[in-house]
Amino acid sequence: MAGEIYRDAWGIPHLRATSAHELARAQGRVTAHDRAWQLEVERHRAQGTSASFLGPDALSWDVLVCRARLDDTARHCFAALERRDPETADWVWAYVDGVNEGLAEGARRAPEFAKSGLAPGRWEPWNPLGVWLGTHILFAGFPAKLWRESAIRHLGPEAVGLFATDGPGTSGSNGWLVGGERTVTGRALLAGDPHRFIEEPGVYQQIRLACPEFDVVGLAVPGVPGIAHFGHTGTVAWAITNAMADYQDLYRERLRRTGAGVEALGPDGTWHRATRHTETVRVVGEPPVEIEVIETERGPVIAGGPEGLEGTTTTDDDPLALALRHPPRVTEELGFSALLPLLRARTVADVDRALDNWVEPVNVVQAADTGGGVLHRVAGRVPVRAEANGTRLVAAWEPGHEWRGWHEMPRAGLTDGIAVMANQRGPSAPLGVEFAPPHRADRIRALLDARRTWSAADLPAIHTDTHLASAGPLLDHVAALDDLTPGAARLRDRLLAWDRHMDADSTGAAAYAAVRSAVVRHLAAHPAFAQLTRPPAYPEVLLPWLALVPRIGFALEHLLRVEELYGIDRPAAVRAAVEEVAAEEPTGTWADTHRLAPWRALHEKPYAEPGLSGDHDCVLCTSSVPGLTDLAARGPAARYVWDLARREDSRWVVPFGADGVPGAPHHRDQLPLWTRGDLVPVGTDWDLLTKETAMPDPYAAREAVHEQLIDGFGAVRILPLDPQADAGVIHAWAVEERAVFWGMNGITREQVAEIYAHMADLATHHAYLVVKDGTPVALLQTYEPEADRVGECYEVRPGDIGVHLLLAPAGPDGALSGWSTALLSACASYVLLGLDRRRVVVDPDVRNDKAVARFLKQGFVPGPVVVLPEVDLPDVYLPEKRAQLAFLTREAAFPSSPAR
């Protein structure tokens, strides 16, 4: 059994195989089937090539990825994994093999490929590591150091604490562990919800992985094998939240050009050679962008260069660049060596040992097992260095900012049988600078303490709690207002009577949010902050961390409580906000404006997204940006309850569904449940699942013009080409360098579709897709020689037919050149026998030695070398070509075939 695929009622894949290796292959294949578009988007984003099909909006990200050398880091990390842990490296290879086996079929299911013109590519073994890096490179929020640097420059050092809400706007995950002494079964419960940007398809994939070694359910990251963050093996379960640790540094670099390249000034006072090369970032519809990639002894330069960074210089006006230093680039490790041991874990001790190998991101982990063991620890790699490194930019040329080893990861226990993690200061406090406010953690503990014992069915109610503790300071200012206009007074009274719950149907919540946003805008407009409104010359992708309005919005609680705020009259700002909102006479509910706003790689809005309950500091953390928008781009990327008494009583949900294909039955079927706060059961009974014996053949329903079973080769079907549906496959073949003689290098997918749509309208030219055992292997084109330029170069006989043949590239089964005899035999059978023709003429380019040799080996007789004139038609241009004509008669190909 190489791998079996089952589905539950929600389309969630349950995979079973004879080994961990085959199981990884099955996981890759089913992920490619369900999430092909998502996989390819993430692969390209990790390589810095996404603008080539997503357009200019993706350019800044691609430039950052290239300058930060993420793809190169992934390659180095995989090479190190092969040296240090060959078993895990082979396991990753198997996953990638599965992705490559399923990608073409998955791409045919996904309409985004046709809309974007992207053809599915080929995954390499380091791509999963690149996806992991790309997903988490901004997770620790190193751009926040740019904000602190700017705030200190313009407002003074006190601004760091003032604007640190005790956390940036990126935190929001919740997790809690209830020990057996506090549950109705006597065994532990784990629950929570990772908070991320909501993407469609979702960033987490519900999946089950079973083989003789283990049987694990959990949330996987599409593109990465195994189950890293949230899993349940039956005897032990684990979950994580962001530890809010600081493990990435930004160094201000002094660079200079020399005749030999680029040098960087080091802390020893001398100049050291930096590596340098150029890369080209391609942008669909625009000229390519050439970038300079520089790396110093600290790390890759992500902004600036020898000529400096506009607006950011030292006191003596030396030009600056910024270098990023982070653990994977330094250690060539990501933590993938923990993935297999996690799947094999049976106890919390096993989970603990596995996580000793974890690197990035740094997480707070909770785990429990059926034996009563519990675990509450930090996992990851945080460097030991000067305190200033964690707060702001540091000078590379000054001593004292080097890394001096690694912090020991802290551990914690349970308090009265409970542990709560919500990005607040806790066990990871020594490792970070900013953490989330304590509101969510305090609220979860208060809710858990409201009763002594809990069951798995009880916990989802905590996920959806909407109490907003951070509303207090603004409401205190509102309460102090007097001499308001009648409308503003009525609004004040409504706000003070509001229960402070951000419920979707609450008009009070809507009114509070409107006033809050107005206050934020009034504060941001004050001249005291004018210098912070000017975006510095940093890469565009980093600018959201430096935007003033979101910074004030997320820090509003502190800004309203602090004794003095740069001379700003805050009561006046609140008064103006209340009067402004009252003039609009708000009557709507919070859900009217607080709607889900998921990120999609293609800028489409095909759905009316639901209104949501919750807010940034609620347990139901659906984050908007006060002062900018009420739309929620961040929220729970999944919810889970792991039951250690009976795994089948565990529950989970994701924002959309198991299938990444728009319009598929399981694409958005979980959205109503996620919106309401409901969870679906984790099914574990194989007898209640639906088995898929094999991936469906996407070509099975298409009528063939010729079918032939060839011994030792397989079943060959020749299908009329569908210009739109097949354009992606043909484009992928035709643009490869090996297909240069086909004449389509550099052509777009849309142009491929247009060419073959034009051909479909001709009575004299036809195109076919040749499929072997459900896999495309060749493009066959036939034409009437007298209607083609080749007819001008030789004496056409009655019964002649012209043929062009483009073979697919080498696949997982080896080079297709070994199949050429059988494949050409099937094509010849169709053309000569099926179409009742007397002779085939081919015209390969004389430089295409392989094609010429292939035809001659098949029995074609060489004819003259001719010059085919160029053809310039509205839909196609064919340049002049020197061709080797060759001919195959029906008698030569099929001597026993009777004449017709």
Q: Are strands 363-369 and 374-379 parallel, antiparallel or unpaired?
A: antiparallel
Amino acid at 811: G
**Residue 389 burial (CB count, 10 A):** 23
**CA-derived radius of gyration, the chain:** 31
Catalytic-labelled residue, pool 50, 173, 613, 650? 173
Nearest to 343 by CA among 210, 206, 221, 241: 210
Query: Is the backbone peptide bond immediately before 361 cis, with ω within 30 degrees of 0?
Result: yes
- Residue 533 to residue 772: CA distance in whole angstroms: 61
List the Cα angle 736/109/5 in 5-degree steps. 110
Nearest to 75 by CA among 295, 325, 328: 328
Nearest to 106 by CA among 49, 38, 53, 54: 38
Q: Are strands 286-295 and 271-283 parallel, antiparallel or unpaired?
A: antiparallel
Residues 6+ apart with CB under 8 A from 866: 790, 793, 794, 843, 882, 883, 885
Amino acid at 734: A
Tell me 697's DSSP state.
-
Nearest to 440 by CA among 461, 468, 475: 468
Nearest to 842 by CA among 798, 899, 783: 783
Is-contact 48 281, C-beta < 8 A? Answer: yes
Is-contact 274 257, C-beta < 8 A? Answer: no
Is-contact 195 173, C-beta < 8 A? Answer: yes
Report residue 122 as tokens. Answer: 């080929």
Residues 6+ apart with CB under 8 A from 563: none
Amino acid at 81: L
Nearest to 237 by CA among 139, 106, 368, 149: 368
- Residue 278 to residue 293: CA distance in whole angstroms: 6
- Residue 460 to residue 458: CA distance in whole angstroms: 6
Report residue 85 as tokens. Answer: 């842990």
Is-contact 839 799, C-beta < 8 A? Answer: yes
For 441-493, give the DSSP string: HHHHHHHHHTSS-B-TTTTHHHHT--B-GGGHHHHHHHHT--S--HHHHHHHH
Question: 596-617: string of b/e by CB count within 10 Å (b at 16+)?
Answer: bbbebbeeeeeeebebbbbbbb
**Residue 684 burial (CB count, 10 A):** 20
Query: Which residue, chain included where needed, has tokens 């990390």?
Result: 77
SS3 29: helix
Residue 772, strand partner residues = 716, 775
Helix (H) or strand (E) holding 818, with range, is: none
Is-contact 405 327, C-beta < 8 A? Answer: no
For 622-683, give the DSSP string: -EEETTTEEEEEEEES-EEEEESS-GGG-EEE-SS-S--STTSTTSSTTHHHHHHT--EE--
Tell me 272's DSSP state.
E
- Residue 812 to residue 831: CA distance in whole angstroms: 29
Is-contact 217 681, C-beta < 8 A? Answer: no
Check if 173 is active-site: yes
- Residue 275 to residue 292: CA distance in whole angstroms: 10
Residues assigned a catalytic role: 173
